[in-house]
Amino acid sequence: MNPEEFESDKLEGVPHPRFSRRVIGQEKVKNQFLQAYNQNRMHHAWLMCGPRGIGKATLTWYLTKLLLTSNLSGMLETGEININFDDPVVSRIEALSEPHLKLIRKNFDTKTKKIKAEITVDNIRELVEFFEFTSPDGKPRIAIIDSIDELNVNASNALLKVLEEPPHNSYFFLVSHSPESLLPTIRSRCLAVHCENLRADDQLYLLTEFGFISNDQVKKVVRVSRGSVGEAIRIINHDGLKLYASIVEIYKDLPQIEVSSILEIASKTEGAGKQELTETINKLTIHFVSRLVKAGTKGKMSSEIFSGESIILNKLSPNFEKSHEWAMLYSRMLTKAKDYQDSNIDGYSQVFENLIDIKKIATL
């Protein structure tokens, strides 16, 4: 079995971010990094913040290669990041055999044949051991944690001790999808940099690079994915446009709404290994509500993700007053989405609750 299949920090069907040869977008963070280096004000811990799938890990691996392969001084005037990919260090980084680098992520459990649910204190102990050795050539030592959101309590406390007394000539890149969920003491010891959602053109470019054909369906997926190429890939992998249509069509015969249709969608999340599908359905549901907000605000929704969608949107959200009700639900759903990540609520209950909440507003 290929070990790469078990990498917890990569999307199914696409290469790991450490193999990327360029960074799309994130110009502000790149410039912030180069400026900090130029002014000799490099922070020891960079908290790479932003939604999933926008390139935080890709940027992290790029900056890591840059620090370990190049003299940055020649790049400071242009602001361009140019890496010599023929450098043996790059090959070692990509093979995860570079002695100046330590990657911390959820491990594959050889007994259960599954990826572990969290990053444990044992992983952080490995990190402490990594920093105990002095770099003989003066190069920095770099730790990547992807993602820091997945540390359990003991691991978070152990990492905090390392961040409080950082080793000399060392850098941490901590990837976070939900920085607000981290310990405040960890956040206070990091420089938080905020990566931005990708433009539609950049998403289409990356999807083409990953082997997806840029057809009308893929362009519609980009519209639903809200600036995240990672989310676009998940939607494609789960036949998300069909899922989205089935969610919206539950409410096409308003005021009659078949609860059996809600149960049918919720049942898709039953069983082991359905967390990613659950998150995809929840995000598609939230996107549906966001389009209901727009429909009522604009007075009429003409653009469609699938044929017949605009009729349903305009029926459910005919005016500004109804749009306000959908906006309130949208806000509540975003809050619940964060709560779901920290709870033991099963996927079936999450999906059912969201779809029933839409039913309640639709039939008021």
Q: Which domains does the chain have, with CATH numbers?
A: 3-194 (3.40.50.300), 238-362 (1.20.272)
Q: Is 145 left (phi over 0), alpha (psi -120 to 50) or beta?
A: beta
Q: Are 360 and 328 in contact (CB under 8 A)?
A: no
Q: Are 144 and 102 in contact (CB under 8 A)?
A: yes
State the sign of the Cα–Cα–Cα–Cα dihedral 193, 202, 92, 146: positive
The closest of 136, 200, 189, 199 to 163, measured between CA atoms, is: 189
pLDDT at position 364: 83
Q: Which residues of the chain have pLDDT under 70?
A: 1-5, 70-81, 342
One-letter identity of residue 304:
E
Please state at what angle helix 259-266 crosses helix 240-249, rounded to 10 degrees.
160
pTM of the model: 0.85
